[in-house]
Amino acid sequence: MQRSSVPRPSSQAPERAPGGDEIAVRDDALRGQPNAVRGSRVVMIVDDHAHFRSALRDWIAREDAGYELIEAASGEEAIALAGSRKVHLALMDIELTGMNGLEATRRIREMYPEIAVIVVSQHTGDAYVEQARAAGAFAYITKDRVIRELLPAVGRALGRAPSGGGHGDVNE
């Protein structure tokens, strides 16, 4: 299968995301989606850029149909969805409107420790990786490495793939 790239809004630079917790996403994102399979793992995509959320959702659905993908546009919405849905994993941006993704990760991990969070961000500095680790993230992946590293990290976070490979797990 040929891999496609994830379109990125021109205003967004590539970023690195820490991960580790699951997050719920907006229910209306499921309408008409073929990947909303009963019994599948729920992966919440949290980003305040609708275009990036949509592109990431569509790419993941094409690459691995085994996930139910939901969306949240803010940290507050992610926390609410995590409490109302059986979310297994959250893909969390750092730069969000309102509460930032690191704070949302910390709160989700405190309230729902069974949810893994992978931070997906344009920020490449070690300080961001350390902050994500401190917030409880499973992994940190920069947006410029999503195609190469995200699905393996998702598999590891959900226990579907062996550990190792890539550089994203913040606790290795």
DSSP 5: P
* Mean pLDDT across 140-144: 96
User: Residues of the chain with pLDDT > 90: what percent?
Assistant: 66
Of 22, 58, 37, the closest CA to residue 153 belongs to 22
User: Residues of the chain with pLDDT > 70: what percent?
Assistant: 70
Helices (H) and strands (E) in the chain, counts: 5, 6
The answer to whether 96 and 48 are in contact (CB under 8 A) is yes
> Which pTM was predicted?
0.74
> In Å, how far from its chain's centre is CA 108?
13
DSSP 6: P
Which distant-in-sequence residues (6+ apart) come within 8 Å of 39 by Cβ? Answer: none
Superfamily of domain 19-157: Response regulator (3.40.50.2300)
- 71-109: pLDDT as tens digits: 999 999 999 999 999 999 999 999 999 999 999 999 999
Residue 161 has pLDDT above 90, yes or no: no
Question: How many angstroms separate the CA atoms of 58 and 146, rounded?
Answer: 13
DSSP 156: H
The ranges assigned to domains in the chain are 19-157
Question: How many angstroms separate the CA atoms of 146 and 100, rounded?
Answer: 20
CA dist 31 → 13, 27, 85 (Å): 30, 8, 15
Residue 70 has pLDDT above 70, yes or no: yes
Residue 53 has pLDDT above 70, yes or no: yes
DSSP 8: -
